[in-house]
Structure 1
Amino acid sequence: MGLRQTDALDVSTLATHLGVKIVSAGDLIEMSRLEEIERIQAYSFSGATFEIGGRQFVITSPLRTPGRRASDIAHELSHILLKHELSEMREIDGIPFRTCRPEEEEQATNFGGTLLLPRPLLVSAARQGLTHAEIADRYQVTIEMARFRYNSTGVGRQVGQFQRAVG
């Protein structure tokens, strides 16, 4: 896609590159139904992937912030890139549905975060002294995602040690 290691990845561009169509659930059903689902169980629906007629679709919740939607899309695209299969059956209110195994969900979450905030990008941001909030704002992710990636990659510690060694 012509990106450098320190470039941010736009998930919509990645979806287009992969031939995946992103659709808001608000375009498919009434917002009142989505709001009712949210009222019954907060965050029970953020995103899902479907294959219809040989084409993949990522459905997102319009109730989420843009940063959260980016994370949800990155998560769903990660399932596609990692070639996860819907292999586990679950049932909610008597309605069966297929889902990925828990370890695949964790893989998709971690890979999705890596797609949004790759380590070299975070190192660059840390060297610039950006806070979690500034990283989130600059790269259009949630503060929680910025904090998670910053801490889980050890970037803050690495850059701090480097700055102490040269300072």
Structure 2
Amino acid sequence: MTLPRGFKAKAEREALRLRNELGLRDTDALKVEALAEHLGVKVVSADRLIDRTRLEDLERVQAYAFSAATFQINNQSYVVTNPLRAPERQTSDVAHELSHIMLGHDLTEVREVNGMPFRTCRPDEEEQATAFGGTILLPRTLLLDAARRKLNPEQIAAQYGVTDEMARFRYNTTGVAKQQVRGSRTTNTWGAKA
């Protein structure tokens, strides 16, 4: 599956626009809770809605079957998160769900795991939400700034509160990794361009 033409560039512009609306610089860390509030979306931990043991049972039956989900109730959007996930993973999950909302995706497909129904989107919409969610958290301008400061993906993950996997994914798919390799080849040990 591939993203629609121009999707990545539009996502980058939108990520920077959202930061601007939140009063952040392009290189500031974005708190998904602040973005959710800005969008009028409520974020709720699933263990406030059901007993935590049900979540643990689901995890045993099918690991990672539930990370986060979006619901519309009385014209209010809710993102329900899985408290069993690490905070960094929850950040990515909320960004992904907020992306579905901002992209206007229709949660139409229902799947059932261990007697629990889950609504989901089409695979192409899932890919879009994954790409946009990552861009919201780590736009290319932020990654370029981090690379200039000699931060590797693990250090970027720690500084910006995302998973190592998310930082590596964005670092590699935005071309920042290749750009840094090319830049390091043209600089001699004294720091001057060769």
Distance in 2 between residues matched to 1:95 and 1:134, nearest whole Å: 38
Task: Give the 3 Å change call, closer, same or farther, for CA 22–97 of structure 1 in structure 2.
Answer: closer
Residue number among 57, 60, 65 corresponding to 2:78 in the alignment: 57
User: 1:161: Cα distance to partner?
Assistant: 1.8
Contact between 2:45 and 2:80, CA under 8 Å: does it hold in 1?
yes
Distance in 2 between residues matched to 1:47 and 1:97, nearest whole Å: 10
Match in the other structure for 1:34: 55
Match in the other structure for 1:24: 45
User: 1:119: Cα distance to partner?
Assistant: 0.5
How large is the Cα RMSD of the aligned pairs? 1.7
The count of corresponding residues between Structure 1 and Structure 2 is: 167
Distance in 2 between residues matched to 1:94 and 1:64, nearest whole Å: 21
Gaps of 5+ in 2: 1-21, 187-192
Gaps of 5+ in 1: none
Match in the other structure for 1:71: 92
2:126 is equivalent to residue 105 of structure 1: yes
Give percent identity, aligned residues only. 61
Contact between 2:68 and 2:93, CA under 8 Å: does it hold in 1?
yes
- Secondary structure, aligned partner of 1:9: coil
In the TM superposition, what whole-angstrom CA distance separates every residue of 1:30-70 from its partner, at most 9, and x where no partner exists? 11110000011000000000011110000000000000000
Distance in 1 between residues matched to 2:57 and 2:153, nearest whole Å: 32
TM-score, length-normalised on structure 1? 0.93
2:175 is equivalent to residue 144 of structure 1: no
Distance in 2 between residues matched to 1:33 and 1:146, nearest whole Å: 31
Distance in 2 between residues matched to 1:31 and 1:92, nearest whole Å: 16
Match in the other structure for 1:134: 155
- Secondary structure, aligned partner of 1:51: strand
In the TM superposition, what whole-angstrom CA distance separates every residue of 1:86-132 from its partner, at most 9, and x where no partner exists? 23344556776542110000000010000011101111111111122
* Between 154-163 and 34-43, the greater mean CA deviation after superposition: 154-163
Task: Give the 3 Å change call, closer, same or farther, for CA 94–71 of structure 1 in structure 2.
Answer: closer
TM-score, length-normalised on structure 2? 0.80
Match in the other structure for 1:154: 175
Could you tell me which amino acid in structure 2 is paired with residue 4 of structure 1?
R
User: 1:160: Cα distance to partner?
Assistant: 2.7
- Secondary structure, aligned partner of 2:44: strand
Match in the other structure for 2:24: 3
Match in the other structure for 1:43: 64
* Between 97-106 and 29-38, the greater mean CA deviation after superposition: 97-106
* Between 1-10 and 139-148, the greater mean CA deviation after superposition: 1-10
Match in the other structure for 2:140: 119
* Between 90-99 and 10-19, the greater mean CA deviation after superposition: 90-99
- Secondary structure, aligned partner of 1:44: coil
- Secondary structure, aligned partner of 2:71: strand
